[in-house]
Amino acid sequence: MIEIAFGKLSLPKDGVVALPVGEDQDLTGEAAALDASLGGALTQAMTAAEFKGKAGQSLNLYGIGPFRRVLLAGAGKPETLRQAETLGGTIAAALAKEAEAVIIAGGYTSGQVAAIALGARLRAYRFNKYRTAEKPEDKPKLKKLKLLASLPKEAESEWKTAAAVAEGVEFTRGLVTEPANVLYPAEFAERLEGLKKLGLKIEVFDRKDLEKLGFGSLLAVAQGSAREPRMAVLQWLGASGQEDGKKEGRKPKDPLVFVGKGVTFDSGGISLKPAAGMEDMKWDMAGAGTVAGLMAALAGRKARIDAVGLVGLVENMPSGSATRPGDVVKSYSGKTIEILNTDAEGRLVLADVLYYAQQRFSPKYMVDLATLTGAIIVGLGHEYAGLFSNHDELAAKLAEAGEAVGEKLWRMPLAKPGEAYDKELDSAIADVKNIGGGRAAGSVTAAQFLQRFVNGVPWAHLDIAGMAWAAKDGELTPKGATAFGVRLLDLFARGFES
């Protein structure tokens, strides 16, 4: 994690300096003054290198004047906070091997300066817990960035809110990156308990609690594993603006409710997955990880809203006690489920948690996140998460927030009960079966299954299977866990704050 600081706009005397340059723009202000102090060297270098200031473009000048390094960073045409974040990411990536640097952020609003800082913080994230033999020259060194701005106090104030979101993203990335031998249901729940310090109210339900509630669908997934299941409920009661979101005696009023699939490892159960790529199934809990990071972000920035996060935590393993294909279980809703494929397990976890969430909390809106199907990757690749919803206004709000933060959603079809797609889930011996009739439209039939456990509440399902983990570095995301959805849902929630 890098330390972010702010200072009054001025020209640094030495060290490492990052200088944003707008697309096809001449150097102005402090940038022009710096160029003049260096005898026009910056302008000459830009011309020689055909540097146009396009977003993502960078140009390094080493040992120039009193400076060890000057980085010219393409700012593009920064008309939005998203573009300012991208600029920050570009700078952090380029300066990864520097210990500290100064960014001259003249000409930017306080909000844009904070956005530059946020982009840098998100891009600089690295999970180092298990690296013990890395060569010093291979390690990122960036520890501190100081942004020089016209209104540094205002920028720092804006940063306090952005920093809480960054911490939520980092919390999620850490959870999703952990191996399954370290992060199993009980350990996940234990880490959530640590969020109490932010003012969240945390409840953890163990196996006995879940059996008493009648969570037969969730427990069917967990019964093959030696690891005990958990469900955790996180409440933030910030609508009245109190510092402590746990305010005793008050219940959430018209809350936003977020539900996450938390399969800490998914072997497929008796319907065993192929060995190739099975190691990736440590992040089949990314939906729950996102809900955890989101709730941390809302509490960290003292969001003036009531919100509830619920996560179902299980490990799906094959054993003599595991659920068999063909078994029938009774869900918390009372509906019976014929389990034809034990690798379609995430929906079984969500079925109980979704029904419980709406029964207990009467949500204004309910959103679930899950790495639910490989089929969504076939359809959308790694550019969009799938969005399924029974409510057009909710779907539009989510898509708008996703576009603004660069976490894009693509709306997929969702049929009404009894119509095409939905009919494929009719069972010959139970109320519903957990898979459709074949491979076709697998992500759609999975969403249709979830809808069977939603009783008219405005609801959206985000299938994030293609977006939870990045195979390569992105603008704001290093290779690995992305925390997709934390920033999207935080921005979505801001639209309801009092």
φ/ψ of residue 467, rounded to 5: -120, -5
Residue 341: name the closest of 229, 257, 425 by CA. Answer: 425
E runs forming strands in 137-254: 144-149, 201-205, 230-237
Query: Rounded to whole angstroms, how far apart are CA atoms 221 and 229?
Result: 9
Q: Is 146 among the residues known to form the active site?
A: no
Determine contact, residues 145/105, Cβ cutoff 8 Å. Answer: no
Q: Which residues contact 20 (CB under 8 A, 6 or more apart)?
A: 31, 73, 74, 75, 78, 87, 91, 103, 104, 105, 108, 116
- From the list 123, 201, 230, 347, the catalytic residue is 347
Q: Within 10 Å of residue 119's Cβ, how many Cβ atoms?
A: 27
Is the alpha carbon torsion for 83, 470, 125, 259 positive or negative? positive
- Helix or strand (DSSP H, E) at 68: strand 67-76
CA contacts within 13 A on the Cβ side of 206: 6
Q: Is 347 among the residues known to form the active site?
A: yes
Is the alpha carbon torsion for 316, 318, 320, 324 positive or negative? positive
Tokens representing residue 432 in the block: 């519903």
- From the list 54, 273, 304, 411, the catalytic residue is 273
Determine contact, residues 168/486, Cβ cutoff 8 Å. Answer: yes
Q: Point out the residues that are catalytic.
A: 273, 347
